Amino acid sequence: MSALSIFSPPVALSAADRHRRRHMLARLGLAWLAMMQVMMFAFPGYLRHEGMAPDNLQLLDQAIFLMNWISLLITVPVVLYCAQPVWAGAIDRLVRGRITMDVPVALGIIVAFVPSAYATWAGQGEVYFDSVGMFVAFLLTARYLELCARQAVQSAGANQAVEAFRVAAGAHADRLAFWFVSIQVLLAIVAGAVWWLYIDPAHAVPVTVAMFVMSCPCAMAMAVPSTVSAAHATLAARGSVSESEVAALVQAARRVTRQNLYGSIAWHLLMTPLAAIGLVAPWVAAISMLLSSLAVAANAWRMYRRQCRSVDIPGWPAAAARGGA
């Protein structure tokens, strides 16, 4: 395992894993490309207001109608191809009677895409193709980082103490994620129903979509594999280590994992009430999800750098600089 980066491709990575990595990267690249295009086509909709001159308003509405159709055509491959792992995972879990992060993600995509497609066909109503594109692109970014971390862990020479920590921390994270997703999905359904029945039906869809986006525990899913990968990378960089040094490293990994897990939960708990009262747009919720995932990855990388600096590793600063280039 290369010690230069906890997210670099391991040397011993199998051909099947490399293919999986490249395939996910292709989905990720297409999702980002489509997202940027759809955001550009969504811009005229943000300029529209009733105070415009009638001629300008009519011309702008015609442009918005055309842009919505183009956005629909661009978003379809994002939903069908880029998000295909989400559909496969959600169907598999529902068949088994389980709720995992794929279920609220799939529901969020459906709730945003279907009304948008209908509004485009009908020629009236709000569309959220930009939110769909951002959600899928940011979700795949987080999952790609998670896959890189997991592959790095699987390819590393396993240390017994680190592996024992991985098993225990992974089980704890899975339990937290299950209850987090279950509660968030319930809150999203309740919030959408309240807005639809009692407040403003026009805002029920964006509130529900934002809530479903906030229910995706992407950062929680990255917490353990990214930290364990950082621990293995540290051991690879140090070479020979004593049992006391391994124990100190596991303790540091445990602390960082707690920071990542409970920090991401706190961030979601902060954003969820704001989304429920309609103050968080779906695209803002998607950015929030990405930022929390990137914060988890950065915290694991920070632990790796700190642990490598704590001992004298010849040539490490230069090697780290080359790895980050």
In 3D space, the residue among 303, 218, 209 whose CA is nearest the CA of residue 267 turns out to be 218
pTM of the predicted protein model: 0.76
Domains of the chain: which residue ranges?
Answer: 15-324
What pLDDT digit, counting tens, does each position of 231-288 carry? 888 887 777 778 888 899 999 999 999 999 999 899 888 899 999 999 988 888 888 8
Residues ≥6 apart with Cβ < 8 Å to 287: 134, 138
Instruction: Write down the mean pLDDT value for the chain.
Output: 84
* pLDDT of the residue at 323: 40
In 3D space, the residue among 313, 173, 298, 148 whose CA is nearest the CA of residue 234 turns out to be 313
Query: What would the DSSP string read from start to end of 166-198?
Result: HHHHHHHHHHHHHHHHHHHHHHHHHHHHHIIII
d(CA 157, CA 117): 49
d(CA 263, CA 280): 20
Which one has a higher pLDDT value, 233 or 194? 194
d(CA 105, CA 200): 24
Whether 71 shows a pLDDT value over 80: the answer reads yes
Which one has a higher pLDDT value, 16 or 153? 16
Reduced to 3 states, what is the DSSP secondary structure of residue 216?
coil
CB–CB of 101/216 below 8 Å? yes
CB–CB of 245/315 below 8 Å? no
In this structure, what token pair is assigned to residue 65?
């109608």
Give the pLDDT band (50/70/90) at residue 310: low
